Amino acid sequence: MSGTSRDTDPEPQAPPSADQSLVDDSYKWKAFAAIGISFVTMVASASMVFVALGQIADDFGVTLRAVSWVVIAQGLTISAFMMPMGRLADIVGRRRIHLIGLVIFGGGAVFTAMAPTFGLLIMARVITAIGNSMGQSVGTAMVISVFPTSERGKAIGSQTTAVAIGGASGPIIAGLVLQFLPWQALFWMLTIPIGIAFVAGYFILDESRVSQRRTGERPPFDWVGAVVSAVTITITVILINNPFGVAVVSPLILGGAATAVSLFALFIWWELRTDAPMLELRMFKNLIFTL
């Protein structure tokens, strides 16, 4: 009897793999939609500004060289904050940084639309760019996290498509809107998709699925590395763009280049010695990772 029972009992099934248990087909696409909306909006906001520069210059009575700072300030801020925000997300959670970034971005868009002076407009663009850097620093990582390892290429391809859509649609939307409305309307419009992205992200994104942070784990933030990297990147971007029209072979440019190189060397020295580096440079010893 017992032998018959053993023969007829079903064989125990293997437990589901980590990918199968953590990732289901419906969730990954819902999460991607929530993240993708924010990516399309943020990238579109950067590209549509170029079309509005002429109106902005006329509205505030500034030169085209001066109005270029609307774009430069945004690029500088995103470049300087991207890496520190990515590291901060590893500490406090990607979902939290993503949602806070959306709030800051939306607030910056409203501030930009209401800015009464050109100086406040530049400040508003900096605020918007901080939110943009928070969203972009974690967006791709979150998308990759919700897709199984076997579909990592699909995840990256989907995110790249969202970025391309944002970059291509921004100037088209701006050109159509500016035929009928003032440039401020562009930034009021941004609050709609960003608001949708926030609500979707708040209810859909699960920290345990989009973040690699372990519960209770909170390493210290590398403030020295963050400041040094931000200053280094800022100086480098200014030197490359040369918005002041200074001669390339001049004390200002040469001094700035020497400062940037010195700060970069300081950043490498610090990151190799601190216990909780913002950027783990030792990973680049792995040739496959470096390539």
For residue range 170-217, list pLDDT tens digits in order: 999 999 999 999 999 999 999 999 999 999 999 998 888 787 665 556
pLDDT value at residue 214: 58
Cα separation, 147 vs 153, whole angstroms: 9
List the one residue out of 222, 213, 209 whose CA is nearest residue 279: 222
Largest separation between any pair of C-alpha atoms in the chain:
96
3-state secondary structure of 18: helix
Structure tokens, 154: 């699909």
Mean pLDDT score of the chain: 83
> Which parts of the chain have pLDDT scores under 50?
1-10, 12-23
Q: Measure Cα distances from 52 to 145, 177, 229, 264 in Å.
A: 37, 10, 31, 35
Q: What does the pLDDT read at residue 1?
A: 47
pLDDT tens-digit series, residues 237-261: 888 877 667 777 788 888 888 998 9
Which ranges of the chain would DSSP assign to H, the alpha helix? Answer: 2-8, 18-22, 25-60, 64-67, 69-92, 94-114, 118-146, 152-177, 184-204, 207-210, 223-241, 251-271, 287-290
pLDDT of res. 287: 59
Determine contact, residues 201/32, Cβ cutoff 8 Å: no
Please tell me the total number of residues recorded for the chain in this structure. Answer: 291
Query: Could you tell me the pTM of the whole model?
Result: 0.80
Give the three-class secondary structure for 198. Answer: helix
